[in-house]
A and B are shown apart, each in its own frame.
Chain A
Amino acid sequence: MQAVPGPDMDIKLNLIAVKTIMRKEVLRVLRIWIQTIVPPAITMTLYFIIFGNLIGRRIGSMDGYDYMQYIAPGLIMMSVITNSYGNVVSSFFGAKFGRHIEEMIISPMSNAAIIVGHVAGGVIRGIFVGMLVTAIALGFTQLEVQHPLIMISMVVLSSIVFALAGFINAVFARKFDDISIVPTFVLTPLTYLGGVFYSISMLPEFWQKVSLANPILYMVNAFRYGILGTSDINIGYAYLIVGVFAVGLFTASLMLLNRGIGIRE
């Protein structure tokens, strides 16, 4: 018979459960690699060719770096963000739609473990695609990492934030259309306006201030600072904002699961 979990067993049970979800998520990404890995590689290659190589030559330098070098960190971060988000929203909503989410809901694992497992799956895919895009970028330009710890910590934190956002989207989604609305109408505009392709110092003062309300601006700039050593914003603020988003979104996700929103009738 299955042992009944007590305080001592809880941690072990939840660790095994998180590992199980992570493993399942990684296998899912690999199983459907043509949907999960190939498209971002192709899209980012096109960005580098068109924006970096063809148009970038005419733009010249930005903040003292050639345009290809300048946009590379932003494009890497963009792929990490969209893939972390996309992985969790599609996987968790798919489990809801196919009702195999019930496998997890009826089990004794904690709701926090369900969230951590899925977010970890999203982060793994985000980072993996980010590394792939970095490899592609190195085929077009040279990148010498100035602050490796900042680069790594910011990419992981940003990935966590967007994996959590994807999780919340999936919790509320009732049909497949609902999982594409946020990426199309919120995530993409915020990413494009988040300083991936330009320095906000190029904008009029009013739009510079508006841009500061975009969390992706902080992620892209902090990541760019980690690689190139240049940023439009204060790195301390970037950590504070990303940290607040991570804690806030995790808390919100946990509250939603505890109340059974979108999961239990």
Chain B
Amino acid sequence: MHALSIKNLRKIYPNGVEALKGIDLEVDAGDFCALLGPNGAGKTTAIGIVCSLVNKTGGSVEIFGHSIDTDLAAAKACIGLVPQEINLNLFDSVLNIVVNQAGYYGIDRKMALERAEQYLTELRLWDKRFAIARTLSGGMKRRLMIARALIHEPRLLILDEPTAGVDIEIRRSMWTYLRRINAEGTTIILTTHYLEEAESLCRHVAIIDDGQIVENARMSTILRKLQREYFILTLRDGLSTAPHLENFESRLLGEGELEVAVDAGQSLNQLFACLSEQNIVVVSLRNKANRLEEFFIGMVERKQANAGSAGA
């Protein structure tokens, strides 16, 4: 069953901007899907339409089979949203915010209080339950928005850049939490500019650009499309010039660091064989950028090159 099914979704804003040019997207129940794209690509508009915050111009949206045109309340009941911008009532307490949200979904107050304790504890906010929202740190506000989105136990959780501006420790703990609720059955759609985050968490990727879906595949399929990966090797002994490595491009970054390009079809074994022949000892190895980021950058560069050649 599809948690989300979008067909030919279009949005033209009153100022004439065509934010979505007929996108199709299907997300399976239980999936963890990344919705990626540059700023202004249409991600937030698409999410806004799915969550009824933006009126669509055309097309259809179904959430677990419930159409937002004919069965809106049932569709809405399935969704939890963590929006990109902080939209908390900053003058209300942490506890009131989540309990009120439960009330809007028809959950009685007794159960709402029980769930509030559960989710605020899990998100390490229970001690702050009587604090006024404006006094919370940025990371706490983000976690509060996650607790608020989960209070009615949605089947589909949509997170629009949930870790923006959050320090690495809290980000990692949020990742662990999201992995857990996904494993427990919640379908998750995540938009993020941290591609490491998407690569680490998501099994499916849809890339949206200029109002169109330009990639929509499993993460593993997308990563296999990478034509070239760059690795940074830390060497035991410093070099004064870049070594000649047959079939590999390389350049010296510093005395003890070497950047090597490995094309699709080449293996790291071949690279290490070349290095061993020249008695170069590698102490450690890391990707220059994460693989999804390289794919994404490559895609944007190809697009810009195409636009340049079309304009020339």
Contact = CB atoms under 8 A, between A and B. Distances in A.
A16 B74 contact: no
Interface size class of A (residues with CB under 8 A): 35 or more
B87 interface: yes
Contacts of A1: 153-155, 185
Contacts of B123: none
B78 to A, nearest CB: 7
B55 interface: yes
A187 interface: no
B87 A102 contact: yes
A6 interface: yes
Interface in A1-33: 1-6, 9-10, 12-14, 16-17, 19-21, 23-24, 27, 31
Interface size class of B (residues with CB under 8 A): 35 or more
Contacts of A14: 106
B220 interface: no
A13 B13 contact: no
B76 A108 contact: yes
Given A16-B103, A265-B55, A103 B76 contact: no
A179 to B, nearest CB: 17
Contacts of A2: 77-78, 105, 107, 152-155
Interface stretch (A59-67, A92-100, A157-165, A191-199): A92-100
Interface stretch (B45-53, B202-210, B242-250, B269-277): B45-53
Contacts of B155: 1-2
Contacts of B64: 4
Contacts of A27: 96
A172 to B, nearest CB: 16
Contacts of A106: 51-53, 76, 79, 81
A110 B81 CA distance: 18
Contacts, number: 107
Nearest to A27: B96
A104 interface: yes
B76 A107 contact: yes
A109 B104 contact: yes
Given A2-B78, A2-B152, A5-B73, A17 B106 contact: yes
Contacts of A4: 64, 66, 74, 77-78
Contact of B89 (A3, A6, A9, A98): A98
A3 B77 contact: yes
B182 interface: no
B148 interface: yes
Given A95-B89, A99-B87, A105 B53 contact: yes
Interface string B100-120: 110111111000000000000
Given A5-B106, A102-B83, A264 B54 contact: yes
Nearest to A99: B87
Interface string B190-218: 00000000000000000000000000000
A254 to B, nearest CB: 15
Contact of B105 (A23, A100, A107): A107
Interface in B86-104: 87-92, 96, 100-101, 103-104
A248 interface: no
A260 interface: yes
Contacts of A9: 106
Contacts of A23: 100, 103
A106 B48 CA distance: 9
Contacts of A109: 73, 104-106
Nearest to B54: A265
A108 B106 contact: yes
B51 to A, nearest CB: 5
Given A2-B155, A3-B77, A108 B105 contact: yes
Given A12-B106, A103-B101, A265 B73 contact: no
Interface in B22-64: 48, 51-55, 64
Interface of B: 13, 48, 51-55, 64, 66, 72-74, 76-79, 81, 83, 85, 87-92, 96, 100-101, 103-108, 148, 152-155, 185
Interface of A: 1-6, 9-10, 12-14, 16-17, 19-21, 23-24, 27, 31, 95, 98-100, 102-110, 260, 264-265
30 contacts: A1-B153, A1-B155, A1-B185, A2-B78, A2-B107, A2-B155, A6-B74, A10-B73, A13-B73, A14-B106, A16-B106, A17-B104, A21-B103, A23-B100, A95-B89, A98-B87, A98-B90, A99-B85, A99-B87, A100-B87, A105-B52, A107-B104, A108-B77, A108-B105, A109-B104, A109-B105, A110-B73, A260-B55, A264-B52, A265-B13
Name the 4 nearest CB pairs between A and B, nearest first.
A20-B103, A13-B106, A107-B104, A99-B87
